[in-house]
Amino acid sequence: MTDSHRVYEEQGLDAYKDYQISREGEPLKEGFAFELVKKLLSLNNSLNDRPVQVILLSRNSADTGLRVFNSIQHYGLDISRAAFTGGNYPYSYVNAFDCHLFLSADGADVRAALDRGVAAATILPSKKRNSSSEVLKIAFDGDSVLFSDESEKIFKDSGLKAFSENERESADKPLDGGPFRPFLFSLQQIQQAFPNGKAPIRTCLVTARSAPAHERVIKTLRAWNIRIDESLFLGGLEKGEFLAAFDADVFFDDQRSHCESARNHVTTGHVPSGIANE
């Protein structure tokens, strides 16, 4: 909705309303999360209980939002639930809809959703090419995303040596969960509905950690009884090329510098949580 949002910013609400209503029959262009949403919805084609629901939360009124619903129908997306808030904050409804993931281009809304205990990320403009696979592939950073920022605080405050020593000494102590732990668990529940090796979802941990800090991560996932399909311990290497090799549909990271690198290769969501975003 880049073009219509520009009308709103430059000409005001009345001009925006006229712009949207006059183009109700003109489908909106695909956004940065379009392919991700399409693949998520396609999971329902193979499962009887249709576990994936995508909900539209919008600051539009129902009047101006009609173009959005017409576009959803144009692209054949199975989305039937929506909240048009008429200028109010759409994140207010994330808990009422029992959302597991909230995506937006508005960073303030994303922070508010995180404060409500929902995994949330700001989708960044990306230069990515669409994934070549029919399998839904989701990649996560570790600290402050899947895990809490307790170890990252030590790194920020005391440096790499202190961080490595702490992780070695705490190898048998599971990390606390980060904001995306419940979402990863939900993905695993869907994976388990398919026969072994047949699930059309693959998950990947892509972290700057290296040995010996890898051991605590592995044991934490084991303690949570969560399986992740692939794990990349990069020891500070740039993540973009590895994400492209994994062929990710989306990557979630808390650090803007990592996101800026990653979005040249894959659709990227910035997670404004943890010490790196204080």
Domain boundaries, the chain: 2-88, 136-272
Strand partners, 61: none
User: CB of 167 within 8 A of CB of 233?
Assistant: no
Query: For every one of its 278 residues, what pLDDT tens digit does the chain have, with 9 covering 90 and above?
Result: 888 888 888 998 889 899 999 999 999 999 888 889 999 999 999 888 889 999 999 988 888 889 999 999 999 999 999 999 988 888 899 999 999 999 998 999 999 999 999 999 999 988 766 667 789 999 999 999 999 999 989 988 888 889 889 989 999 999 999 999 999 999 999 999 988 888 999 999 999 888 888 999 999 999 999 999 999 999 889 999 999 999 999 999 999 989 998 999 999 999 999 998 98
User: Hey, what amino acid is at 12?
Assistant: G
CA atoms within 13 A on the CB side of 180: 31
CATH number of the structural domain 136-272: 3.40.50.1000
Structure tokens at 38: 């399409």
Return d(Cα 107, Cα 264) in angstroms, integer.
Answer: 20
As a 3-state breakdown, the chain gives helix, strand, coil percent values, each rounded to 5, of: 40, 15, 40
**Residue carrying structure tokens 């991560």:** 217
Ordered alpha helix ranges (H), the chain: 2-11, 13-22, 34-42, 62-74, 107-115, 150-158, 160-169, 181-191, 214-224, 240-246, 256-262
Task: State the pLDDT at residue 129.
Answer: 63
Residue 238: closest CA among 213, 256, 253, 258: 258
- pLDDT score recorded for residue 197: 83
- State the Cα–Cα distance between residues 151 and 141, nearest whole angstrom: 14
**Stated pTM of the model:** 0.91
Residue 269 and residue 257: Cα distance in Å, rounded?
A: 12
Active site amino acids: 141
> Quick one: tokens of 30?
């695909």
